[in-house]
Each structure stands twice: as C-alpha cells, then as structure tokens.
Amino acid sequence: MRPIKGYKKDFLSEMLREMLLIRRFEEKAGQMYGLRKIGGFCHLYNGQEAVSTGAAAAMVKGVDVLLTGYRDHGHAISMGITPNAIMAELYGKLTGCSKGKGGSMHLFSAEKKMWGGNGIVGGQIPVATGSAFAQKYLKTNGATLCFFGDGAIHQGAFHESLNLAALWKLPVLYLCENNQYGMGTSLDRASSVKDLYIKGQAYGIPSKQISGMDVIEVYEEVKEALEAIKKEYFPRFLEVKTYRYRGHSMSDPAKYRTKEETEAYMAQDPIILLKDRMIQEKMLTEDEFQDMDKEVKEIVAQSVEFAENSPEPDHSEITTDILA
Amino acid sequence: MAIITMREALRQALDEEMARDPTVILMGEEVGQYDGAYKVSKGLLDKYGPDRVIDTPITELGFTGLAVGAAMGGLRPIVEWMTIQFGLLAIDQLINNAAKMRYMSGGQFKVPMVVRGPNGPAEYLSSQHSQSFASYFVHVPGFIVLAPSTPYDAKGLLKSSIRDDNCVIFLESEMSYGLKGEVPEEEYLIPFGSADVKRAGTDVSIISFSKPVLQCLAAAEELAKQGISAEVVDLRSLRPLDEATIYASVRKTNRAVVVDEAWPNCGVANYVSSLIVRNCFDDLDAPVEEVTGMDVPMPYNHTLELMVQPSVEKIIAAAKRALYID
C-alpha cells in the first residue's frame, strides 16, 4: 500500500468521499432495481471504486477523455456527472444524462468528456483509440483513458487497437480493470496467460500490473502514465487488479466463486484501506467518516427522489437524436 | 463538360473536400503509398501528406472503430474499405457505435464519417469477394446509405457525404471505376434522398441503384426498339429513400420492375417493391417484378457467375411480364 503522507487532507477526503458516494449509489441502484424501478442490465461497481476514482483524479478535467464498458456508474460519478442525472438515466427519465435513451450501460456527458459506457464487450476500445487520434491531430494536449474489463482483452478490438495506438503513437491509456471474471467465467478459464499486462507489452507498449484496491496507487500510476503519454505521445497499458463484490449484473447470484474469496477481497476494501490510513495519519476521525457517509447517503437518497419526480420523455423523443 | 472516369470523379471529390476542410482525413488499406487498391486516392498522399492520407494495417475493425472515435473528437474521417466484403469485420463498430452513438447519448455526439469502397459482384472472384451488402446498412437507423451509378452522381454525393455530420455508407462498384461520364468543372453537390430519373418513359418503371442501373438503361433502350417506353429510376440514395420519385413514376406507368444485384431475400428490392405495393396499390396494373441475384453464393466460373446476376435480358423479360407481353 502506498503511503499517504505528502497528500493534502482535502484531496484524500475528496477521494474517500467519491468512493463512498459510488458505493452508496450502487447499493441504492441495486435496491431500486430490486423494486423494479430500474430494468434491463445493471452492472454494479461495488469493490472497484478505487479504480475510477483514482484514475479520474489524475485526469485533466475538460481535456482528457474517458470511455469504458457497461459497468460505468462509477466512472460517470468520477467524471463529474451528478448522481441525480445518473439515477434519472437508470430510471429512463428525460433528466437523465443521456435523456433516458441510454440507460445504465450508456452514461454520457460531452461536456465532462465522458464518452460513455459501451454495451459491446471491448467495443469502446477502438473508439477510444480514435479519440486519442483526434486529440493528437488537433493538438489538444489531451489524452484518452480507455477502461475495459479482463473479459474484453480477448476481443480483436483490443488487439487491433493496441497495435494501431503503438504504430501511430497515440496518447491513450488502456486501463484493464481485471476483476477476474468475465461474467461467470474466471480468468484462468478464459486467458492463455495469467498476467494480462504482458498483452500490452506484446505491442511494444510500456505496461504494468498494479493494485486496484489502493486508490493512491491507482492515482499515482495513472498520473505518471498520463504524463508520460502526453510527453512522449505514446500509449501505456495498466492492468489494474480489482474485484467486484456483486455478480456480473443484477441477475447474477455469482455462484461460480466462493464466499471465502469474496470475503478476502472485502478485507482489503478500497474505502476501508484509505479510511484506516487517514485515521492513522490523523487526517480523519471515525465521526467525520460517519458524517461523510451520512452526507453521501443523503445525496443518493435525493437522486432517487429526483429520478422519481422527473418527467418521462415525451413520445416525440423516439425519433429525435437519430441523425445530426 | 469534361468526360472523366468514376475513379477520377471520386478522387476529385476527395481532393476538393480535403482542400476545403483540414479536418478531413482519408484512411484505409493501401490508400497512400500504393495510391489505392483501385487508384481512387492516387496522388492524394503527395498532396496532403501522411498525417491526412493514412495507410492502415489490415485491421478493418480497428481502423473503422478508430474513425468513429476520431469523428466524435472533431475530425471528418473517410474510411476506405478495400471492399465492403472486408467491412463485415468492422460492422459492429459501425452499427453499434457509429449509427447509435448520437441516440444513446441523447444527442450529445455526432459521428461525421464516410465509409466507402466497392460493393457488389465483380468478376472471377468467387463467393467471398463478390456480393452486395447494401441491405445490411439500409436496415440500420442512424446511417446514410448511398449507391451512385455515374461519375456525376458519385462526385456530387461524395462531396455531400464528407460535409455531412452523420455516418455515410458510400457504396461504389468495382466494375464501374473505369466508367466514363460527364462531370462539370464547377462545384456542385447532390443532396441525400433524391432519386434521379435517368430515362423518362410511360409504360413501365424500372427502378434500381448502383451498377445495375446501366443494365436497366440498356434494357430500356432495347425495349424502346420493341415499342415499349420504359422509365429508369436511379435511387442513388437508399437511406434516406426518395419515395416520392418512385411513386410518381409508378403512378404514371402503373407497372414496376425493381432491380438489385444482391440476394433475393430481405434485400433492397424486396423493400422497394413492398413500399410500391403498399403505397401504389390502386395504381398498379400488374404485380411488381423483382430482378435480383440468385439465392446462391457467387460461383467462380464466369458463365455461371453471370447467370446468377441480373442481366439486360432478365430485366427485359421482367418488364414484359409486368406488361403481360410474352
């Protein structure tokens, strides 16, 4: 675990608060799904909060672009889309961040440079590579963060993209959130190799394996990678080892893994890990943490209220936004 | 008016639009140093440099998806698929990303890109390189789909495509790159969704697009010798479709033949003929005829491959059936 000395209290508190907000948001989303307020596919991010939080903290807001797969609620929060707009989107309401047309898997904000969740495994990887191509061509000084899971790494889209990014020297960070299960299939049943970062090396891309349970490690590694990418105009690849506490989606009871395994990961929960270090360094008290928890729970509760009270899209919305 | 080939007309469109807008880029297999597999992009690398005329590895999914992201990021990529057949490897990126990004994001993004390349049967290429996939794209909301038959139409439509803010699928024809036609010196654009009556007539409407339009015109010429006045409607734009021009023609002639070089099932011919039946039912004096490719993979043998495709003779026969002449 990385030391937190040297970081300002506000910075750490904000990361802790963001992870907590994602956790509570996801718990609420799961609950509202159970109440059938939310339908369809809904993939929760519980356990992986440190990855989007640490990575987004290292990005230049409004300049760097982020794309990810369908497990995108955490990334949307980390990129600054409000819980209200996300919950309303899960409800399919007009006030949702995609006007109720995208749903859980397609959270977008052009303004925040959140280019969405993508519902096709690995489908966002070439698009992210193209975003980096445009950033380089237009000299925006920006880079693109491309998130995907370990399940996506076997898709041709991944391999073709990494080859192009290295060949054309594009400012893109490929970030594989290895939560070790592609739906119900464990990595050892899906991958010919144990360590995924070597797949980045295969394309001549500097690649590294890091922990996704320590938000500081994610932040530092992504920051360093982004700086190198922008300086050298060359991609980087990070394999971030993480774990999802919930099933693949709401319909998955996750019977393919043991209780012990899940508990072992929960023992290194990213929120607890940062909280304990902050308490140890006297940057936080238990009471302050409880207050923080109360505050984010209130924000999440308000997002539900906002979604509930938001209007349904007008029927005329069916035929808008198809062509520009 | 200058008489130039289809490939020259396409090149002029690319050249003029690249000169006009520095965000327009061209990428694809062999488009640069090799001057294009069919020489459409000849000379453009020298003129615009390797940042704008980009040779790609053989990685259709990769560079097509990359173009989607580049378009979202502010560029206007033109993707050349060496053939639309290879595009099947990339079709997920087009259907699930290019065509839907705007909708899924509630209108926050646009994807201004053009995907172009030869579609449809050529010669001696057997089954994998000789087929029309127009209907694959016409099926999908979010695309513009164009299929010109002449150098004039190709240039005007390609220029409009490059300026448009949507993903345009631009279907060319391998057999037509050398086709010559009149193209004016001055700039012109052709809007989407406008069919062109290539030959006026009164007895039967022959409706087609892309390369088979030439066969339709030859058939009309032959029919004229037999005293039959055929009107040839070139759809040019398959999505959006100029229904008004189709119906106006059929309401005039009361008989329709739809010609499509693709397979017969769930193709553009089926679609157009169903629209005619639904919208011109009371005007029709005969069932709508369809002339399509046969429902078989393309054979290599030249006699056989010609037999499975539409031909002037088949079109004439269909027109006569529609006129109850035999």
Q: Residue B172 half-sphere exposure, CB side, CA atoms within 13 Å?
A: 31
pLDDT band with cut points at 50, 70 and 90 for residue B235: very high
Tokens of B149: 């038959």
The answer to whether B66 contacts chain A (CB < 8 Å) is yes
Q: From chain B, pick out residues whose CB is under 8 angstroms from the CB of A167.
A: 57
Residue of B108, B114, B166 best to disrupt the A interface, most CBs of A under 10 A: B108
Neighboring chain A residues of B66 at a CB cutoff of 8 Å: 126-127, 129-130, 133, 161, 164
Cβ distance B93 to A123 less than 8 Å, yes or no, reads yes
Element (H, E) at A207: strand A207-211
The answer to whether A95 faces chain B, any CB pair under 8 Å, is no
- Chain A residues in contact with B104 by the CB 8 A cut-off are 98, 101-102, 106, 108, 116
Share of chain B above pLDDT 90, in %: 99
Sheet arrangement for strand B113-118: B53-55, B24-28, B76-80, B113-118, B167-172, B143-146, B237-239
Instruction: Please confirm whether the linkage preceding B240 is cis (ω < 30° from 0).
Output: yes
**d(C-alpha A69, C-alpha A120), whole Å:** 7
Asked if residues A35 and A70 have their Cβ atoms less than 8 Å apart, the reply is no
Q: What is the pLDDT of residue B239?
A: 98
CB atoms near residue A315 (< 10 Å): 7
Q: Domain locations in chain A?
A: 9-307
For A316, the token pair is: 């005329």
Count the neighbouring beta carbons within 10 Å of the beta carbon of residue A81.
23
- What residues 139-158 of chain B have any CB closer than 8 A to a CB of chain A? 141-142, 144
* Residue B288 to residue B285: CA distance in whole angstroms: 9
CB pairs under 8 A between A and B: 152
Active site residues of B: 60, 129
Inspect the interface and report whether the beta carbons of B70 and A134 lie closer than 8 Å.
yes
CB-based contact B69 A127, cutoff 8 Å: yes
Confidence band of B326 (pLDDT split at 50, 70, 90): confident
Binary contact (A126, B108; C-beta < 8 A) = no
Q: Looking at beta carbons, which residues of chain B come within 8 Å of A121?
A: none
Is the CB of A135 less than 8 angstroms away from the CB of B73?
yes
B117-140 confidence digits (pLDDT tens): 999 999 999 999 999 999 999 999
Mean pLDDT of B11-31: 98
The class level of CATH for A9-307 reads: alpha beta
Mean pLDDT in runs of 10 for chain A (324 residues)?
95 98 98 95 96 98 97 98 98 98 98 97 98 98 98 97 98 97 93 96 98 98 98 97 92 90 93 97 97 98 98 97 98
Write the DSSP string, A31-85.
Answer: HHHHTTSS-S-----TT-HHHHHHHHHTS-TTTSEEEE-S--HHHHHHTT--HHH
Domains of chain B with CATH codes: 2-183 (3.40.50.970), 196-322 (3.40.50.920)
At B85-120, the pLDDT tens digits run 999 999 999 999 999 999 999 999 999 999 999 999
Taking every pair of Cα atoms in chain A, the longest distance, rounded to a whole number of angstroms, is 56
Contact A127 B141 (CB under 8 A): no
User: Any chain B CB within 8 A of the CB of A227?
Assistant: no
Q: Which of B51, B65, B165 is opposite residue A137, by nearest beta carbon?
A: B51
Whether residues B102 and A133 touch (CB distance < 8 A) is answered with no
